[in-house]
Structure 1
Amino acid sequence: MSHGYHGILVACLREIELDGVEQYPSSAHVFGLCESVQFLLSADSGVPTKHTLAEAEKHLAMALKLEKGNTYFLAFYAQILIAQGHFPKAMDLLKEQYNAEKSLPCLRMIMSIDPREIIDQTEHILDYLALDPFASRATYFEPFMAMALCKLDDWDEATMRRLIAIVLNRVELGDPDEACGWECLAILLSYLRTSNQALIDELLGPRLVWWKDAYFASDCFYRAKEESDLMVYKAVCAQQLMDLEPGHPVYKLLSGRLSNAHAEFVNTHMRVLDQQR
């Protein structure tokens, strides 16, 4: 441990050099994740020091050799490597560590130093959203899903399964008041109903045993005093997944006075029944 913290202290003393690394966005700077060492340093950020990044690299390399897999030390080590021009080595180390343990901190670092825009890192973002159902809606979930849902014909079944799993995680484990997960699910159900009904039955069928009471209970829609994104998207999903009686409150909600945007969404994604109800 002493080697690791020695390297971290030196890295913090050379922070100005690390801040200048163009490939590593300041928003993802490792020092934002490691405030616990800051109390050891002088408040004067311009304090001169004889210590070098090469020294920090040496100590952190030793620390990782003694304690392989320590993500805390790896964060500093990777940035020090980048600051010294060893970008490929840093990326290889991060990927090796991520493949070994699938940790979110490693994946965040990989995504941060990848020169591509987040929206273009398909494999990374699929992994990230699968691991973190609370991932930022504005930064990660909505931009990626908006792109993914616009080209559903391009995805193979394996990727489609990953997309569905991400959306289901968002619905079941994420913020219960968030509407975007239900919106994405409604769009996926509408698409799969004509292209791969078997996949719906496989992945959603078992869930209906408890979803009926947890998410689609009649009282849930009876109590909806006014339309909202959440209730409209959830109602479309209920209508897609269940054989509802004509008087079910889902139909009352979906046939009521909806905003133009909601009405268009319902008309586009509501399941067409064999018989008029």
Structure 2
Amino acid sequence: MSNISIYHLSEDIRSEFTIDEQGRAFASRRAVARLAGVDVSSVVRLVQKISDGQNVSEIFESFTGQVFEGDALSDILVALILEYYAYEAKERYRTQQAKQVCRAFRAIGFRTWVQQELGWQKSMSQAEYLLSVAQQFVEQERQLKLVQSQVNTVESQVEVLTEQTSQIKKAQESQDEVLLSLVAIQKQAESDLEIIPFSAEQAQQMSVRDKVVLLVRTYCYSSGVAYKDFFSHLYCQFKYRYHYDVKARSRNKRTSLIDQVEKDGMIDALYAVASEIIQAKIGA
């Protein structure tokens, strides 16, 4: 069978064979010619005749008329070509090598089929077994590292989310405290204003000046407004409404502004303005 071994492909012909993703084998025209023991041109002409639809042999009936693109021929067609050069071609074109290759392939095919049916596997040598175990360990270690990397990534993401959640919770708690504080101030202001004796019997015993001071102090205490700032605003409104500038009238005098208002007989008007301002702020 010349110098070809059908069990192990030699390096000079190995590149002439290929296998696709489905496991189907292919061989070039040169490789087929070498297996059959004929010239490459003979195989090329035979394939062309099959493609042209010529009745070369009945064994090629399923391939007749097909276009064979590229140099690779399918495993089934290769087997038929070898059978052709072994038994179907004219006597002068048949080769002994083609017969030997066909017999060998048939034996290998039968052997492979029986091995698959009976679940037989070739026993590994000790070196092959150790190599297989080592490869399994390497793959397991790679998978473990990959899983650990994924776990570390998830843990890092969880830590970030936990920190963000904590910050959001703290911000929410801070907002809640501010809201509760504002509500408490508002309620206290309303409560304090309700006890101011605007019309109660006790109010009849207080001077109007005292009523102004009590009203303003109570409101400032409840709302957090500075006492001095409120009186400045009150005197500005008083000037705007009554065209009465208490600051100008008390200038160069050793008297307080409220004393000057009382002295000028404008204390009732000041009380009315203060009450109106505070009631408007509470209503808002």
TM-score range, shorter chain: under 0.3
TM-score computed with the length of structure 2 as normaliser: 0.19
TM-score computed with the length of structure 1 as normaliser: 0.19
- Bigger RCO of structures 1 and 2 (CA < 8 A, at least 6 apart): 1
Greater Cα radius of gyration, structure 1 or 2: 2
